[in-house]
Chains A and B, each alone.
Chain A
């Protein structure tokens, strides 16, 4: 509170001398401005004129050409357009132009790229995913097997050794198929079972509380 004794009497934070030292005289205070400053304030001085020689116009042209080239090239990534559901006559031509552009991919040195960006990555996987059932012969065989199985179930459940072996074969086949299907579906990590029942938790830590072994 010691500072207060001196500070009393004057309302302002600065003394008269200090104000004068800052260059503010009595009655010199500007009117308070309440309006926001203009969005585009006027320049105090006019900017210098730009040089417009042949070199500049050459550079401007070259620049525009380069940008135009990029816009045509596959480097310019376009969003897949959503249509508004109205068919138009011009659609036909637009689609044609789109198709021409669509199949092109950027020519890069793919060995210098991380594998996830290489175009082969996607295609190789889709080839490996060829399903067994696509083959018509295979399909027919499978249908027959299933039919037989069905008729078997209707009849009495006689279990021969031969029959079981055959049945096992079928089951295996079906299981195989199911497994295959699983593989196709697991696009996300959620399909894998990461569940930890917590049994292993602190298993090894238990010994820490015990007395050290000498």
Chain B
């Protein structure tokens, strides 16, 4: 709930939903909980617009409402606003893991926020009916939907329950039941979508995606640190972990070696892994940044995955990276030293960091100034005299540093977004012209008009304009890519903060 977060949230809302929603969202962010009347008063917007904005916010789960004695108060959910930038990553995940159908389903569901299964499948099928390239059928869509629901990538939306005596609904989360969709009924619904009477609503389960991301990060870490086979072992361990442990457990339940061997023997393309499974486990335990731990010796060995520790290791490496890029490798050395020694005096830093005295001090103070390290003053016994030097112990409060780093990410994201809108507004005229030319050309191609005419239209964009537009496009793409990259960092930081 920081200032930077507020700026970022309002910037995102403005970009996605326009200025009025931004005003309402920002107002809710600043004051916490508010009823409609108060929002109207502080924002000065007419009631209809406030209502429309609140509808948008509630629909996309960016806000929630609470009812207290007949009044309805609204509250913004900033974390869900930040999730908006992560949507492309979800889609990429779907596309690479489950293919185009899954991607289309998730995309449509994200756009509609909540939708019944029948309507969702029917509208996708109708949209791509003429698309021979994708070759979609309602049957494959249905199967994909069911497999997504089974894997809990999508879940049922909360259901409204009316308390007696009030007409304000209470939203209750229900357990998802995998639907049993009838293909024949779906075919019928495709013909006339108007009379669909499915009132079980579904929505995307962000948490499941986040689990996928954490797994992937851990597997990649192992792959990079040791080799592909070690990554495969990690994958097996994580698979086993989900069978027996809760989703966000700090440490998984133990996995027996025999189970792992059984799974490994099914991987025909990895003969090395089958031969040396125990060696791999040994190496990962000793040299795998503590991602796994040997928990017992029964049955040839039992292993558990240290998820919380893994998150900590990853966050530390992110912070190292940030310090290196901001203040240089020497500062990063001091940062690592302080972290390794837990509490350390200034003189000892100079001795251990092997840097010239003055430079070392300068860098230490720089780190202190940017809040990467903290200092704890200690006073020697009761004597309070001016000449006596106090002892200052430097240390790293990881939790605080993660927060500092998160603020930096928020600020950077905000700046990127601002830079983007600035760029767009400066070149608005050229971009608009390009869009218009494109639509005209597209129309002409559809009508299969002669190439000469199309070229004539294309030539209305002068060469300097074309080069300018190419440059702007490149810059916009770079800004978007940077945004996605920052979001990745933010994800790791938040992952660490999940565990108390």
| Residues 46-61 (chain A) with a chain B CB within 8 angstroms | 47-48, 50-52, 55-60
| Residues 30-83 (chain A) with a chain B CB within 8 angstroms | 44-45, 47-48, 50-52, 55-60, 62-64, 66-67, 69-71, 73-79
Cβ contact of A114, chosen from B21, B65, B386, cutoff 8 A: B65
Bound CA–CA A108/B17 (angstroms): 16
| Residues 80-103 (chain B) with a chain A CB within 8 angstroms | 85, 87-89, 91-92, 95-96
- B49–A77 touching, CB < 8 Å: yes
| Residues 2-35 (chain A) with a chain B CB within 8 angstroms | 6, 15, 21-23
CB distance from B66 to the nearest CB of A (A): 10
Q: Does B160 contact A (CB under 8 A)?
A: yes
Q: Does B309 contact A (CB under 8 A)?
A: no
- B328–A44 touching, CB < 8 Å: yes
- A70–B16 touching, CB < 8 Å: yes
Bound CA–CA A53/B72 (angstroms): 47
- A21–B389 touching, CB < 8 Å: yes
- A113–B111 touching, CB < 8 Å: no
Residues of A within 8 A of B72 (CB): 114, 116
Bound CA–CA A48/B95 (angstroms): 28
Q: Does B55 contact A (CB under 8 A)?
A: yes
Nearest chain B residue, comparing its CB with the CB of A64: B480
| Residues 90-121 (chain B) with a chain A CB within 8 angstroms | 91-92, 95-96, 107, 110-114
- A59–B89 touching, CB < 8 Å: yes
Cβ contact of A60, chosen from B17, B60, B160, B480, cutoff 8 A: B480
How many B residues touch the partner, as a band? Answer: 35 or more
Known A75-B17, A79-B19, A111-B160: A45·B325 in contact at CB below 8 Å: yes
- A75–B59 touching, CB < 8 Å: yes
Bound CA–CA A181/B56 (angstroms): 35
- B56–A117 touching, CB < 8 Å: no
Q: Does A106 contact B (CB under 8 A)?
A: yes
CB distance from B37 to the nearest CB of A (A): 10
- B111–A114 touching, CB < 8 Å: no
Q: Does A109 contact B (CB under 8 A)?
A: yes
- A59–B15 touching, CB < 8 Å: no
Q: Does A112 contact B (CB under 8 A)?
A: yes
CB distance from A70 to the nearest CB of B (A): 5
Residues of B within 8 A of A198 (CB): none
Known A75-B60, A114-B168, A117-B51: A23·B157 in contact at CB below 8 Å: no
CB distance from A200 to the nearest CB of B (A): 24
CB distance from B497 to the nearest CB of A (A): 24
Nearest chain A residue, comparing its CB with the CB of B203: A109
Q: Does A115 contact B (CB under 8 A)?
A: yes
- A108–B386 touching, CB < 8 Å: no
Say which one of B124-132, B397-405, B481-489 lies at the interface with A: B481-489
Bound CA–CA A22/B389 (angstroms): 12
Bound CA–CA A66/B112 (angstroms): 11
Bound CA–CA A75/B58 (angstroms): 11
Bound CA–CA A63/B481 (angstroms): 10
Q: How many A-B residue pairs have CB under 8 A?
A: 131
How many A residues touch the partner, as a band? Answer: 35 or more
Residues of A within 8 A of B167 (CB): 115
Known A63-B88, A111-B169, A116-B72: A57·B477 in contact at CB below 8 Å: yes
Known A47-B325, A79-B19: A60·B55 in contact at CB below 8 Å: no
CB distance from B182 to the nearest CB of A (A): 23
Bound CA–CA A78/B168 (angstroms): 28
Bound CA–CA A197/B17 (angstroms): 50
Bound CA–CA A58/B36 (angstroms): 40
Nearest chain B residue, comparing its CB with the CB of A67: B16
CB distance from B249 to the nearest CB of A (A): 30
Cβ contact of A112, chosen from B36, B158, B326, B386, cutoff 8 A: B158
Residues of A within 8 A of B91 (CB): 59, 62
Q: Which of A22, A56, A64, A73 has the most B CB atoms < 10 Å from its CB?
A: A56
CB distance from B122 to the nearest CB of A (A): 14
CB distance from B119 to the nearest CB of A (A): 10
Nearest chain A residue, comparing its CB with the CB of B166: A115
Residues of A within 8 A of B169 (CB): 111-114
Q: Does B183 contact A (CB under 8 A)?
A: no
Known A114-B72, A117-B51: A106·B56 in contact at CB below 8 Å: yes
| Residues 157-201 (chain B) with a chain A CB within 8 angstroms | 157-160, 167-169, 171, 201
- A113–B58 touching, CB < 8 Å: yes
Bound CA–CA A102/B19 (angstroms): 17
- B20–A59 touching, CB < 8 Å: no
- B58–A117 touching, CB < 8 Å: yes
Bound CA–CA A21/B391 (angstroms): 13
Residue ranges of A at the interface with B (Cβ–Cβ < 8 Å): 6, 15, 21-23, 44-45, 47-48, 50-52, 55-60, 62-64, 66-67, 69-71, 73-79, 105-109, 111-117
20 contacts between A and B (CB under 8 A): A23-B357, A51-B481, A52-B481, A58-B92, A59-B88, A59-B91, A60-B477, A62-B92, A66-B87, A66-B88, A66-B111, A77-B52, A77-B56, A106-B56, A109-B201, A111-B169, A112-B171, A113-B55, A117-B55, A117-B58
The 4 tightest CB contacts between A and B, nearest first, are: A59-B88, A77-B20, A114-B72, A60-B480
Residue ranges of B at the interface with A (Cβ–Cβ < 8 Å): 15-21, 36, 49, 51-56, 58-60, 65, 67, 72, 85, 87-89, 91-92, 95-96, 107, 110-114, 157-160, 167-169, 171, 201, 325-328, 357-358, 361-362, 386-387, 389, 477-478, 480-482, 484-485
Q: A112-B160, A113-B169 are in contact. List 11 more A-B contacts (CB 8 A).
A: A21-B389, A23-B357, A50-B482, A55-B92, A55-B96, A57-B477, A66-B87, A76-B16, A77-B17, A78-B20, A79-B49
